[in-house]
Structure 1
């Protein structure tokens, strides 16, 4: 089935105009018979992603979505990445989340060491 899709450059310009200038293109997917929409992933300076869908037939903006969520609707999922990465708490929050991640990994490793040393004694 041969469809007449809009030019990819036109779709990109439409997507770029939907976001502020501090977002940069990171990935994209062309419209085809398999998926009739253009998909663009834009990242800001802090590497947070916004996905944009452009209708491949008429070039209309379908929507702007948080990373990985290409459907409408509000949900708790859109808050998970900013909370777990510390984005809501600024640079101090990012540093704190990184430190907590290292502490959890060290607890896991020390737990295995204690478990195996006790197992050898028994």
Structure 2
């Protein structure tokens, strides 16, 4: 008799916790693309690395890592995009000069906005 009451309560409790955790991770997944525009970098793209990573169960993010040669040094810049049905991936080419807007997180520069700069040749 006790198990007929306790087992459904335990199942509902774990269902409630799982739903709460999924909502939290969905909001973190969508917020992964939000970057504060605190700094600006300009440089020539030396290399491009692109990869798809699992964020949480069925949620994925697309990471584009660019090595930018600025006037003084080589900088690693990352763009993180949550993959949805209508996601468009930006295409970068080696040798392009771009200006990126974002913020520093550790040794990497995270950005979500950029513009192509015309070469001064």
State the TM-score, normalizing by the size of structure 1.
0.29
Higher helix share: 1
More strand by share: 2
Return the structure number with greater relative CO, CA threshold 8 A, min gap 6: 2
Relative to the length of structure 2, the TM-score reads 0.29
